[in-house]
């Protein structure tokens, strides 16, 4: 079910990116995402998913087209846009900037120049939200894969974004790790966040999504209700989840 | 990595742990200056006793454990002693079998290595009672008034260096295991084996750095960040005054 009554929060117009070597990573992407939507973007390796996400918060500038956040081009105030649109990278290791878990969460709020008491308050709050309070003074380096991803989530939440984007959040996680991240995702969505999730592991999460977008060779080839689209996913290199007979509702690792 | 704890931070509750890092750094510098100036054996003994007492009582650090780690410096100390003994001209030691060793040389060598040990102790007290984060903030604070020095950037660099060290060590050990699995031991040429590690490591580190820069941008990194707050209490000034007094006595009293 989509959310037709909610306002459009994020929009792309003819978004195209050509890398200097000539690779057309994404081509003419037109998207409208509504407040509170849970969108899954699927596609084979190299189809342009990461490049698309990185356009949405302005990490990569488009060759053509633009991104609008609440109707305004993000290029107008890129910092404000990044504050609103959190991105959790695929490789958690390379996004850790703190020597302790708490310090890593403080990084974003400190960049926003919040007063020190507010930074502390947010660090406490969001470590609590992701369940890492006990590890606050640990080196992030010693955390497990699942915990590192939770830390990345806390670091993004501490900036209090409206939209949270996840780039392949299940990669490299064991079963409990996937379940932990999944719980986090669902609860973030329930608390009103707009979620954009890139993955090809549909069987783990599709049941929770409002909408499925399939990218193939840099273009959007399917966009709509997961129930309708899922049957056509395999021709675009996205493996059909096993539980097809049981319907989309069964496609989750959350019991 | 060898388990050196000499310059590790030990989270404790002690007078020195509670101290304002800025004042602590000044005390440390004062101690180091006096250590490099003193000439008489009694002042050396008093300084040593003082530092041992500070380590045990004021800093509550595990003295014996730290002492054991001095072994990593033993070769350096031995070299200093030997070089001085032979190089400094003076009277030969009566009855000493090795020619060229002078009394003055041995004395100078002894004092030089004693100085080194004391300075290592001072550093160990500083790092043992001050977390790297605080240390970074202190450095940043002292750099602030200096024009043309981008103190925030330097502090971020110090911080990232410490974040990256364990990551790099891990990468290396992972690569070593992977290459062992492919029988790299069969290769006799040690230079080749270093190359097998160095190149992939460099490539990986650059790739990680690129990701890290993007991740920092995604979290709105800017040089204009929330600044650490320091609080100097009467206790800090008291400790500083006491250190100055103690060091002045050692330096100027004719022992
Ligand atoms: N910095 C770059 N320079 C050139 N080509 C790139 C660069 N980054 C990505 N690409 C190319 O863009 C395409 C899309 O990549 P990406 O978005 O990372 O795919 P994925 O869907 O697996 O996340 C791929 O063909 C990739 O090789
Ligand atoms: Mg990708």
In angstroms, the CA A53 to CA A65 distance is: 15
pLDDT of residue B3: 60
Question: Is domain A8-88+162-252 given the CATH code 3.40.50.150 in the classification?
Answer: no
Task: Write out chain B's pLDDT in tens, 255 residues.
Answer: 446 678 888 888 999 999 999 999 999 999 999 999 999 999 999 999 999 999 999 999 999 988 888 888 899 999 999 998 888 888 888 887 877 888 888 999 999 999 999 999 999 999 999 988 899 899 999 999 999 899 999 999 988 888 888 788 888 888 888 888 888 777 778 888 888 888 888 998 888 889 999 999 999 998 889 988 899 999 999 999 999 999 999 999 887
What is the per-residue pLDDT for A244? Answer: 52
CA of A189 to the centre of ligand 1 (A): 28
CA distance A99 to chain B (A): 6
CB A205 within 8 A of CB A241: no
Q: For A9-61, what is each residue's pLDDT tens digit? A: 999 999 999 999 999 999 999 999 999 999 999 999 999 999 999 999 999 99
B42–chain A Cβ distance below 8 A for any pair: no
Compute the average pLDDT of residues A161-188: 93
- How confident is the model at residue A55, as a pLDDT? 97
Residue nearest to atom 19 of ligand 1 (CA): A46
Contact A233, A222 (CB under 8 A): yes
> Does residue B1 form part of some domain?
no
Length of chain B: 255
Q: What local confidence, expressed as pLDDT, does residue B164 receive?
A: 83
How much of chain A is helix, strand and coil, in % rounded to 5?
A: 40, 25, 35
| A105 interaction partners in chain B (CB closer than 8 Å) | none
Domain spans of chain A, in order of start:
8-88+162-252
> Does residue B125 lie in a domain region?
yes
Do residues A157 and A165 touch, judged by C-beta distance below 8 A?
A: no
Q: Which of A125, A105, A110 is nearest to B228 (CA)?
A: A110
Domain of B183, in residue numbers: 21-252
* Interval A137-160 mean pLDDT: 92
- Ligand 1 centroid from CA B145, angstroms: 44
Smallest CA–CA distance from A85 into chain B, residue:
B218
Which is more confident, B22 or A237?
B22
B163–A114 CB contact, under 8 Å? no
Q: Is residue B7, in this structure, part of any structural domain at all?
A: no
Cβ-nearest to B166 among A89, A107, A141: A141
Best mutation target among A53, A74, A79, A95 (most B Cβ atoms within 10 Å) is: A95
Residue B128 in any domain: the answer is yes
Identify whether the C-beta of residue B152 lies closer than 8 Å to the C-beta of residue B140: yes
- Could you tell me the CA-to-CA distances from B167 to A225, B177, B198, B211 in Å, in that order? 42, 15, 15, 14
Q: Looking at residue B222, what is its pLDDT?
A: 87
User: Given this model, what pLDDT does residue A230 score?
Assistant: 86
Residue B227, in any domain of the structure: yes
Tell me the pLDDT tens digit for each residue of A98-114: 889 999 999 999 999 99
CA atoms of B137 and B139, how far apart (whole Å): 5
**Domain assignment of residue B156, yes or no:** yes
Residue closest via CA to ligand 1's atom 2 equals A19
CB contact under 8 A, A139 and B159: no
pLDDT of residue B2: 45
Do the chains contact at B226 and A116, CB–CB below 8 Å? Answer: yes
Contact between chains at B11 and A137 (C-beta distance less than 8 A): yes
A20, A42, A48, A167, best to mutate for ligand 1 pocket (most atoms within 8 Å of CB): A48
Q: Which of the four pLDDT bands, split at 50, 70 and 90, describes residue A148? A: very high
pLDDT at A242: 62
Please list every residue in chain A whose beta carbon sits closer than 8 Å to the beta carbon of residue B218: 57, 59, 82, 86-87, 89, 95
The CA A89 to ligand 2 mean position distance, Å, reads 9
Angle A134-A137-A141 from CA coordinates, rounded to 5°: 100
B46 domain-assigned: yes
Q: Which two tokens stand for residue A140?
A: 């992030």
Structure tokens at A224: 């709509």
Paired with A31 in beta bridges are A12
Determine what percent of chain B falls in helix, strand and coil, rounding each to the nearest 5: 75, 0, 25
Portion 220-249 of B in contact with A at CB < 8 A:
220-222, 224-229
Q: Which ligand has the shortest distance to the CA of A215?
A: 1
Q: What is the pLDDT of residue A3?
A: 66
Instruction: For a ligand 1 pocket test, name from A50, A55, A200, A221 the mutation site with the most ligand atoms within 8 angstroms of its C-beta.
Output: A50
Question: Distance between terminal CA atoms of chain B?
Answer: 44
- What confidence score (pLDDT) does residue A2 get? 54
Question: Quick one: CA dihedral B43, B45, B47, B49, positive or negative?
Answer: negative
**Total structural domains within chain B:** 1
Q: What is the pLDDT of residue A245?
A: 62
C-alpha A209/C-alpha A56 separation (Å) is: 19
Asked if A109 and A122 touch (Cβ cutoff 8 Å), the reply is: yes
Q: Give the Å distance between the CA of A46 and the centre of ligand 2.
A: 7
Nearest C-alpha of chain B: how many angstroms from A219?
24
**In this structure, which ligand is nearest to the CA of A41?**
1
How many angstroms separate the alpha carbon of residue B33 from the centre of ligand 2? 55
**What mean pLDDT value characterizes chain A?**
92
Instruction: Express each pLDDT in A54-93 by its tens digit.
Output: 999 999 999 999 999 999 999 999 999 999 999 999 988 8
Nearest to B211 among A89, A113, A156 (CB): A89
């Amino acid at each position: 079910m989509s959310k037709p009554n909610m306002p459009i929060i994020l929009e792309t117009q003819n978004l195209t990116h050509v890398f200097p070597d000539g690779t057309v990573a994404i081509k003419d992407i037109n998207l409208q995402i509504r407040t509170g939507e849970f969108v899954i973007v699927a596609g084979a390796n190299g189809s342009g998913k990461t490049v698309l996400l990185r356009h949405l918060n302005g990490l990569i500038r488009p060759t053509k087209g633009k991104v609008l956040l609440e109707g305004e081009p993000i290029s107008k105030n890129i910092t404000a846009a990044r504050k609103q649109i959190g991105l959790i990278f695929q490789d958690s290791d390379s996004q850790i900037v703190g020597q302790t878990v708490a310090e890593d969460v403080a990084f974003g709020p400190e960049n926003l120049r919040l007063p020190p008491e507010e930074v502390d308050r947010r660090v406490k709050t969001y470590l609590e939200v992701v369940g890492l309070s006990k590890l606050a003074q640990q080196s992030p380096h010693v955390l497990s894969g699942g915990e590192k991803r939770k830390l990345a989530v806390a670091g993004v939440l501490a900036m209090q974004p409206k939209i949270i984007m996840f780039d392949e959040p299940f990669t490299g996680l064991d079963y409990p790790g996937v379940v932990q991240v999944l719980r986090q995702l669902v609860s973030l969505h329930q608390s009103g966040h707009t979620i954009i999730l890139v993955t090809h592991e549909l069987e783990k999460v599709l049941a929770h999504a409002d909408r499925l977008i399939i990218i193939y060779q840099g273009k959007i080839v399917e966009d709509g209700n997961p129930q309708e689209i899922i049957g056509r996913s395999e021709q675009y290199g996205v493996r059909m989840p096993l539980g097809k007979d049981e319907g989309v509702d069964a496609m989750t690792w959350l019991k | 990595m060898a388990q050196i704890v000499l310059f590790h931070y030990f989270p404790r509750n002690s007078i020195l742990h509670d101290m304002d890092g800025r004042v602590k750094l000044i005390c440390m510098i004062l101690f180091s200056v006096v250590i490099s100036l003193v000439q008489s054996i009694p002042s050396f003994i008093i300084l040593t006793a003082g530092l041992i007492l500070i380590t045990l009582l004021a800093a509550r650090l595990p003295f014996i454990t730290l002492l054991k780690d001095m072994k990593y410096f033993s070769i350096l100390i031995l070299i200093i002693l030997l070089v001085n003994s032979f190089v400094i001209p003076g009277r030969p030691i009566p009855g000493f079998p090795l020619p060229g060793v002078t009394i003055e040389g041995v004395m100078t060598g002894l004092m030089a290595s004693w100085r080194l040990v004391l300075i290592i102790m001072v550093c160990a007290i500083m790092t043992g009672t001050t977390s790297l984060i605080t240390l970074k903030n202190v450095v940043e604070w002292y750099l602030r008034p200096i024009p043309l020095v981008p103190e925030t950037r330097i502090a971020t660099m110090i911080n990232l260096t410490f974040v990256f060290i364990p990551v790099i060590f891990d990468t290396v050990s992972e690569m070593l295991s992977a290459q062992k699995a492919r029988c790299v031991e069969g290769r006799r040429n040690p230079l080749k084996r270093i190359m097998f590690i160095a190149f992939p490591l460099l490539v990986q580190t650059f790739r990680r750095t690129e990701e890290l820069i993007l991740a920092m941008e995604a979290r709105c990194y800017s040089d204009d960040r929330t600044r650490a707050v320091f609080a100097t209490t009467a206790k800090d000034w008291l400790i500083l005054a006491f250190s100055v007094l103690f060091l002045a006595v050692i330096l100027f009293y004719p022992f």
